Amino acid sequence: MSATSDIREIVEKNNSMLCIGLDLDQKRLPTDYASTVRGWYDFAVAIIEATKDIVAAYKPNLAFFEERGAEGFSLLEKIIEKIPDEIVVIADGKRGDIGNTAGHYATAAFDRLRADWVTINPYMGYDSIRPFLDHKGKGAFILCLTSNPGSRDFQLLHVLNKPVYMYVAEKVAYWNKEQNLGLVVGATHAEQLAEIRKVARDMPILIPGVGAQGGNLEKAAICGTDDFKHPALINVSRTVIYASQGNDFAEAARAEVEKLNAVINELRSKDSKD
């Protein structure tokens, strides 16, 4: 199976396009879990146990773990071990360096952390992406049009009457020979998301920016899949894992995921009837 077919399979099995971002911020964790590494671990595992049957993926943001040094990296390894094998794990590090260095980043993500996908910055071109593609059954989401305000600084610039993000989408679609590449497109750019989906064809799109960043869930689901014809993962982080500051955080997270799934699946149901 390809990395893309793994995404399709879990989306169908769990009837969910949602990816939960595991952005463990000490300032946001419930008080009883915030001060120790053990508390962070228990919090993350509780979130996973409460949602693992109703999501398609988890996306740990590596920066939140790397800032804790060796104990943070060890914590990340242990958290990933608690994620069921069939659930997609995306190591969100936004790597992007020369080929030799990229090879070490790929080994760290896929062999050491046992992630299924990584996020990559394409600025340095194909040779910085290629080492990630040498790992069979693994995939790479390439930053195309991000959800942050600064995306306009470079990604929205026009070069020869075409925005830079479209060059990225076209190149990645061309490179996707083994069905192991995808794109990252922010939900805050719904119109462009629909445009990129046409170029992406059957590549999966990872869609951040719903919730705290202001992206619209319904538009993200429809535009990101071309009315549910193609695979996409919609990332939700803070609105889910910090749905409650009390010790009922896991139950609150599940309730939030169920609510989001219901919105998407109602759209899918309407689309199938049309």
Cβ pair 232, 17 in contact under 8 A: yes
**In CATH, 3-242 is 3.20.20.70:** yes
Cβ pair 59, 90 in contact under 8 A: yes
- Give the start-to-end residue ranges of the domains of the chain: 3-242
Q: What is the pLDDT of residue 211?
A: 73
* pLDDT tens track for 20-56: 999 999 999 999 999 999 999 999 999 999 999 999 9
> Position of tokens 């705290």?
212
Distances, alpha carbon 213 to alpha carbons 146, 147, 153, 178, 239, in Å: 11, 8, 18, 33, 10
Distances, alpha carbon 88 to alpha carbons 10, 151, 206, 247, in Å: 8, 27, 12, 27
3 state DSSP class of 157: coil
Q: Give the separation between CA 50 and CA 67, rounded to whole angstroms.
A: 26
Residues recognised as catalytic: 94
Q: What is the pLDDT of residue 114?
A: 97
Q: What is the pLDDT of residue 94?
A: 96
pLDDT lower than 70: segments of the chain:
212, 271-274
The DSSP output letter for 242 is T
Q: Give the separation between CA 178 and CA 198, rounded to whole angstroms.
A: 19
Q: What is the pLDDT of residue 221?
A: 96
Predicted TM-score (pTM) of the model is: 0.96
Q: What is the pLDDT of residue 149?
A: 86
Backbone angles phi, psi at 48, to 5 degrees: -65, -50
Q: What is the pLDDT of residue 268?
A: 87
> Position of tokens 């590596």?
62
Q: Give the separation between CA 166 and CA 168, rounded to whole angstroms.
A: 5
> Position of tokens 């190591």?
91
Q: Give the separation between CA 78 and CA 250, rounded to whole angstroms.
A: 19
Q: What is the pLDDT of residue 212?
A: 67
Q: What is the pLDDT of residue 1?
A: 77
Q: What is the pLDDT of residue 267?
A: 93
